[in-house]
Structure formats: C-alpha cells, structure tokens
Amino acid sequence: MKIVIPDGDTLALPDMKQHILEIFSQYGEVVCNGTTRPEEVAEKIGDADAVLCNKTPVTREVIQACPNLKYIGLFATGYNNIDIPAATERNITVCNAGAYSTHAVVQHTFALLFSLAGNLNIYDKAVKAGEWERSPVFSYFPYPVHELYQKTFGIIGYGSIGRNVARVADALGMRVLVHTRTIPEHCEFPLVSQKEIFQQSDVVSIHCPLTDQTANLICKENLNLMKSSAYLINTARGGIVNEQDLADALNQDRIAGAGLDVLVQEPMSPDTPLKTAKNCLITPHIAWSAVETRERLLQIVSDNLKAYLAGNPINQVN
C-alpha cells in the first residue's frame, strides 16, 4: 500500500516528523509532504492507495484524477474539506478522528474566557510598562475584573466538546444553558432556543460544526440580542462568525469582548476587521494542538487505517 500525507507540517513540530513516519510505515510505503497547494493535491496523491490529511482539500476533481485511491483518513474531526459524495460514489472509505481534541479544546475555551474576564492581557502589558511600579498602593486594578460565578454560560452545540465545556462551567458555579440542533438524551442542563441563548447568556461559546445552517450564525441580528456585558468564544470554525458584524459589535461596545481561535481565512488575512477590533483576543487555531492531543490523534488515525485494512472500518463518515 502507498500512503501519502499531503500536509504533514500541520500536525507536527520538526522533531515529531520521524515519529509520524514510524507510525504509518507499518502499513506500507509512506510519502510525507510538508504542505501541498490545492492545485498540487492530485499530483501529490498520484497513484497512492490512501491519503491521510488534515485540511488538504480532496475535491471531486482530485478523486477523479487518482484512480487507485481507496481510503481517506482525516487527522481531524471535521471533514468539510473532503467531497464525501464523490468519495462514496467511488467506494472510497473516509474515516475521521472524533473526540481526540476534547480535553485540549475545553481547556483553551476557558483560557480565552479567563483572559477576557480578568483582562489578563491588558494587565500583563500594563505591568511590563511599569504601571504597577508607579502605583501608590499594593494592588493595582484600573481595568475591570469580573467573576464568572453565577453568570450564565450558553453553549451552542452539545457534542463531546460541548458536553465537557458544560461540566467545567457548571463546576465554576455558572448557570449552563444549551442550544443544539439534535436533542440529546439525558441532558442535565436546560435546552433553550437559539434566541434565548443569545438573550440570556453572559458567555456564548460555540461548539457546533460549520454547516449551511450554522454559517454566519454569529451575525448582526444575533449579536444585537446579546447583553452588552457578554463575551463570545469561538473554538469551532471561523465561518460560523460574520467577522465584519462581530468587529462592528465589539467596536460599538454592543458586546464586551470575544475570544477566537478560528477565523474564516487561515492563516489569518491581514484584512480581517477583527485584527484591530476592540477587546478581541485571537489565537492562531491552536486549541487542538497540545502535544498530548496530537499524540492521541496520530494513534486514532493509525487505528482507523489498521481497522480498514482488516476489513472492519471504524469512525467511517460515509
């Protein structure tokens, strides 16, 4: 079996690349490319039997150009970069890596929230600029710090990450509300409408996939429903947020702040209005990237491929 990895640089620091090769070489010949431009994908996959990718687009045209392709394994939970109908028509098995990043994304969700609620970035800059040194009293707090205790935490999406975020928010003494398209069994928190989530929440945290229904969900209309003191957290997909509408809401003080790990264009476009928006904390899509998380991801993708080769695919999405 020939296996092509078109975007290995998205997975590993340089000292982990050899580890990736060692894991997958047990299944056949492995060709690992650092990055692959969209127009190069078909050429890079070539006569391979399997492709293991993270965000590389595998379109209908790519699938048609790669006659030997039988398996697509994703180093990701989302699979919107794969043309699933085209793969299914060709009897190509597509498997994803569900729930591998739950713990890391939950951690990052609250890292963003804690920073916003405590104005930590502002205080760090102030201290290093000498403001504390010049303070007449021991405790210097000109910028507001807010407790999360008894605030309302609204969760949009209640999969593995959403459920675990809810448990942490509950442990912090917050009132948890949930809005989700698929009604979960035995949900321990109140299920509310989309409008109620935006109206009632002090924090709105997004944990749903990007679909036609969720694209631009965070828009002017829904932002106008939010409290002026509320925070928005997005560790899901950038396309769920209308970036201009969010920037306008922040700059006009219609909401208090936003913590974002994902943007519509990645790497970030220098033209995104969020780059200069007020009280907007942006991290470069790192919520999933903890060392332990990526080790878990590699093992899941390896197990998926092993199961496929044994004739019993697991985590198959088509």
The answer to whether 285 is a known catalytic residue is yes
Q: Which residue has the tokens 């697509």?
A: 72
H or E element at residue 299: helix 291-309
CATH number of the domain residue 15 falls in: 3.40.50.720
Domain membership of residue 79 as a residue range: 2-100+291-309
pLDDT at res. 13? 61
Domain membership of residue 318 (yes or no) is: no
Is 161 among the domain residues?
yes
Over the chain, what is the mean pLDDT? 95
Number of domains in the chain: 2
Contacts of 26 (CB under 8 A, 6+ apart): none
Question: What is the spatial distance between Cα 95 and Cα 105, in angstroms, rounded to a whole number?
Answer: 21
pLDDT, greater one: 21 or 104: 104
Amino acid 14: pLDDT:
62
Q: Do 264 and 290 meet the contact criterion of CB atoms below 8 Å apart? A: no
- Name the amino acid, one letter, at 152: T
Closest CA to 189 of 180, 177, 171, 206: 177
Q: Give a yes or no: residue 229 inside a domain.
A: yes
Is 316 within the bounds of a domain?
no
Give the C-alpha separation, 287 to 242, whole Å: 20
Which of the residues 22, 61, 131, 266 is marked catalytic?
Answer: 266
Read off the pLDDT of each residue in 30-47 and give the average, rounded to a whole number.
96
Q: Given this model, what pLDDT does residue 314 score? A: 97
What phi-psi label fits residue 91: left (phi over 0), alpha (psi between -120 and 50 degrees) or beta? Answer: left
Measured between alpha carbons, how far is residue 307 from residues 27, 100, 167, 300 in Å? 11, 17, 33, 10
Token pair of 24 as six digits: 């997958």
Same domain, 33 and 127: no
pLDDT at 209 over 80: yes
Are both 43 and 148 inside the same structural domain?
no
Q: Which residue in 108, 163, 179, 237 is the catalytic one?
A: 237
- The 10s digit of each residue's pLDDT in 152-181 is 999 999 999 999 999 999 999 999 999 999
User: Is 237 part of the annotated catalytic residue set?
Assistant: yes
User: Quick one: which of 86, 88, 74, 57 has its CA closest to 305?
Assistant: 74
**Domain assignment of residue 314, yes or no:** no
- Looking at the fold, whether 111 and 71 belong to one and the same domain comes out as no
Q: In angstroms, rounded to a whole number, what is the distance separating the alpha carbons of residues 192 and 269?
A: 35
**Among this protein's residues, is 103 annotated catalytic?**
no
CA distance 102 to 115: 20
pLDDT band at 148 (very low <50, low <70, confident <90, very high): very high
Query: What pLDDT was estimated at residue 192?
Result: 97
Are both 234 and 302 inside the same structural domain?
A: no
Q: Which residue has the tokens 């492709």?
A: 51
Residue 246 falls inside a structural domain: yes
Looking at the domain assignment, is residue 184 inside a domain?
A: yes
- In terms of Cβ atoms closer than 10 Å to its own Cβ (0-12, 13-18, 19+), residue 15 is exposed
- Which of 108, 163, 179, 285 is an active site residue? 285
Give the distance between the most distant pair of CA atoms in the chain: 74
Helix (H, G, I), strand (E, B) or coil at 259: strand
Does residue 164 lie in a domain region? yes
